Amino acid sequence: GSETLLAHIIHMVEEAQGSKAPIQALADKISSVFVPIVLVLAFVTLGAWLVFGTQYLGFSQALSFGLVSFVGILVIACPCALGLATPTAIIVGVGKGAKEGILIKDAATLEKLHKVDTVIVDKTGTITIGKPTLVDIQNFSKQSDNELVSILASLEKKSEHPIAHAIVSYAQEKNIKTEDALNFEGIQGKGVTASIEGTVYYAGNVDLIKGLGVSFDASKIEQFTAQGKTPVVLATKEKVLGFVMVADEIKPESKQAIADLHKLGIKVVMLTGDDEKAAKHMASLVGIDDVVAHVLPADSIATSVPVPMAIPTSAWASA
């Protein structure tokens, strides 16, 4: 249980709640000087009442007034709130964030958050629902559409990518049989490759096909990517067999969230490994300012590090 993702998230939230923000260090420093001064003043006041008050009011009356003054100084002047307000705010803030699915790294990050002028977000699962569906099939081979989908689904069934799930789900819905894929390999940020019945197939984005050196007219998919659809091209080492288009619905709350960030004067940038035109179309629908497409996971992490922004749990894997 301690090795599960949930356990790691809980541990991360606990660490964030126990961490100190820079402002808290300042508050602690002030308290370390202020508290002794208040204590000294309280005892001096009590002593003054006992020394001078006894002469005029008697010891018991002077002690009574002295204790009231002693406690009054401690209650009013002692900076309890100064030392307690910051950690309390951090615990509440991090806890409420976790309930909303937002993980905050530490207290220092929480403090820096109000200075943020740019927010970087992932597309799949953050701006979109994260459940793409197969919407178009373009077949250039002598095989049927179902055979083309069968090969694609056979390749993608070992992949964890949401687009792969869309292709496999389509094959299952249409009762299209899949084959065993041997020597499966994921090509980071580009696609997958595997051998099916002795033939090596490649499935992925246009960059993958270009890397193979296979001639392909990319203009054939432009009309689809302009509509916000993402292509998955199927090819061998010799030729392109066809491609399918996958589309993901935008979350209903995404547009309002981007609008709210804009009201705060924050620029929103979307990173995605998808096709640039499809990404730009998606970004235009929700009002995102800038798009960086064809981003590999490693590049995404490197780009995101300087931004002290919380990461939604839906984007945990990419974060």
* Dihedral in degrees, nearest 10, Cα atoms 159, 165, 167, 173: 130
Please say whether the beta carbons of 70 and 45 come within 8 A: yes
Contacts of residue 248, Cβ cutoff 8 Å, sequence gap at least 6: 123, 124, 128, 129, 130, 131, 132, 133, 162, 230
> Under a CB-based contact definition with an 8 Å cutoff, are residues 254 and 124 in contact?
no
CA dihedral 197, 199, 205, 209 (to 10 degrees): 180
CA 253/CA 238 separation, integer angstroms: 44
Selecting among 106, 117, 122, 217, the annotated active-site residue is 122
Under a CB-based contact definition with an 8 Å cutoff, are residues 127 and 270 in contact? yes
Residue pair 153/171 in contact by the 8 Å Cβ criterion: yes
> Please, where are the H alpha helices in the chain?
5-18, 22-48, 54-57, 59-77, 80-99, 107-112, 145-156, 162-173, 206-212, 222-225, 254-263, 276-286, 297-304
In 3D space, the residue among 133, 156, 136 whose CA is nearest the CA of residue 145 turns out to be: 136
Asked about 289 being catalytic, the answer comes back as no
Distance between CA atoms of residues 280 and 180, nearest Å: 36
Q: Give CA–CA dist 126/286, Å, rounded.
A: 12
Q: Which residues are catalytic?
A: 122
